Structure 1
Amino acid sequence: MTLAAFLAVAALLTMGAVSPGPAVLMSARTGVTEGLRTGFFLAMGIGLGAVFWAALALSGLAALFKIAPALLWAFKIIGGLYLIWMAVQMWRHAADPLPDTTGQPPRSALSAFRLGLVTQLSNPKPAVVLSAIFIGTVPPNTPLWVLACLLAFLFTVETLWNTIVARLFSLPATRRAYVGAKSAMDRSFGGLLALLGAKIAAT
């Protein structure tokens, strides 16, 4: 693989990372409710989930989904239902007061990491998108070290972007605006997440 081809794949991976979806939505809400520290560990989980889907894509997951479409359907149903469940929890607790983040964060680093990982794994569409990217741009004889570099880049860009999103939403001005309209904003976050979950399950 030439340097130009590697950079082209990297650009496509970056575009996929910054596109709106459940992971970005969860990063925004975590940033505003629990701060940058929790958002960072959430972002790391999202990054690892992206690497998991990318590794499966490189191993031929797209071909498996074509042979056994019921497998992809099951992934979508399970993932969509999980996102809808999270949306329901947001909606139910919309009226709860904002957790106090002046001391220990309300969520541990491991819990935030796990939430990010599960959020990313609940959406199987990245595997299909990544398969399309890799099939069209990564030659079959690409050395393993180059593939490892692509996976490392994907982890970095996913983690960095979602950390930036969490940071933006953790700023004092954003937090003050959120506190003033928590109930409505939580229901908005929940509604968007439910729509994304339903879209994943139905398409």
Structure 2
Amino acid sequence: MLGVLGAIYLVHLAAAISPGPAVLLCARTSLREGFARGSWLAVGIGLGACIWAMAALFGLALLFQIAPALLTTLKFAGAAYLLYLAIKMWRHAPDPLDEALPETKAPRSPLGLIWLGIATQLANPKPAVFFGTIFLTFVPPHAPAWLYAAILGIVFFNDAGWNVIVSRIFSLERTRRAYLNLKSTIDRVFGGLLGLLGLKLAIS
């Protein structure tokens, strides 16, 4: 069983660190709001990954085989959500980041950031495809309950842990100063990348 867990750890880690909407949002949140808030977002991203993993363990692949239109629906819904985030980010790129008056707009709460992380993961059907196909090939049939629990722990550790690292890198003062100097450009780059991911998802 240790070999199974090791294989799942490595293959999922490779998926977790690949650039995508979750990593982009984590980087941007940490740039704007600091390491702590980026870490809360990372927790939500990890929980979202666990939801996909649980769905896979309890029959997601079979469901997609029975109702392939469901995957198509998820794909277009996810693409629409990513495009919405991209447009919002692009439109507000020129807005100044006024840190001197934080009371003018309440910062997002830790719970709100966790929900944003979960929603970002659930809106992206690529994890669904990964967990419903590649992921399941490493899970032995009739696995004991403790193995399922260990697998979910690995999934959370990989996704949340990697995005905490991303948050730390992008929350450093040097990185933050560069962002403040180039806020409009950087926000539009992040928004453009999210938009491209959404379009790619819609047409793939």
Shorter-chain-normalised TM-score: which range? Answer: over 0.9
Deviations 1:132-161, CA, capped at 9 Å, x for gaps: 233321111110110111101111111111
1:125 equivalent in structure 2: 126
Residue 201 of structure 1, CA deviation: 2.1
After superposition, residues 50-69 of structure 1 pair within 5 angstroms as 50-69=49-68
Q: Does structure 2 conserve the Cα–Cα contact (< 8 Å) formed by 1:58 and 1:134?
A: no
The aligned amino acid for 1:177 is A
2:73 equivalent in structure 1: 74
Runs (5+) with no aligned partner, structure 1: none
Q: Does structure 2 conserve the Cα–Cα contact (< 8 Å) formed by 1:57 and 1:128?
A: no
Residue 99 of structure 1, CA deviation: 4.4
TM-score (norm 1): 0.94
Runs (5+) with no aligned partner, structure 2: none
Residue 37 (str. 1) matches residue 36 (str. 2): yes
> How many angstroms apart in 2 are the aligned matches of 1:4 and 1:194?
39
1:86 equivalent in structure 2: 85
2:20 equivalent in structure 1: 21
Q: Does structure 2 conserve the Cα–Cα contact (< 8 Å) formed by 1:99 and 1:106?
A: no
Name the CA shift for 1:157/1:101 in 2 (closer, same or farther; >3 Å).
farther
TM-score (norm 2): 0.94
> How many angstroms apart in 1 are the aligned matches of 2:98 and 2:42?
20
Question: Which aligned segments of 4 or more residues in structure 1 are displaced greater than 3 angstroms?
Answer: 101-105
Q: Does structure 2 conserve the Cα–Cα contact (< 8 Å) formed by 1:9 and 1:133?
A: no
> How many angstroms apart in 2 are the aligned matches of 1:44 and 1:102?
28
Count of residues in Structure 1 that have an aligned counterpart in Structure 2: 202
Name the CA shift for 1:191/1:152 in 2 (closer, same or farther; >3 Å).
same
1:183 equivalent in structure 2: 184
Tell me the C-alpha RMSD between the 2 structures.
Answer: 1.6
Residue 167 of structure 1, CA deviation: 1.0
Residue 93 of structure 1, CA deviation: 0.4
> How many angstroms apart in 1 are the aligned matches of 2:145 and 2:98?
45
Q: Does structure 2 conserve the Cα–Cα contact (< 8 Å) formed by 1:35 and 1:101?
A: no
Deviations 1:59-118, CA, capped at 9 Å, x for gaps: 121221122111111111111101100110100100111242897882211111111111
> How many angstroms apart in 2 are the aligned matches of 1:45 and 1:102?
27
Identity of aligned residues (%): 51
Q: Does structure 1 conserve the Cα–Cα contact (< 8 Å) formed by 2:12 and 2:135?
A: no
> How many angstroms apart in 2 are the aligned matches of 1:143 and 1:172?
46
Residue 11 of structure 1, CA deviation: 0.8
Residue 130 of structure 1, CA deviation: 1.5
> How many angstroms apart in 2 are the aligned matches of 1:14 and 1:181?
32
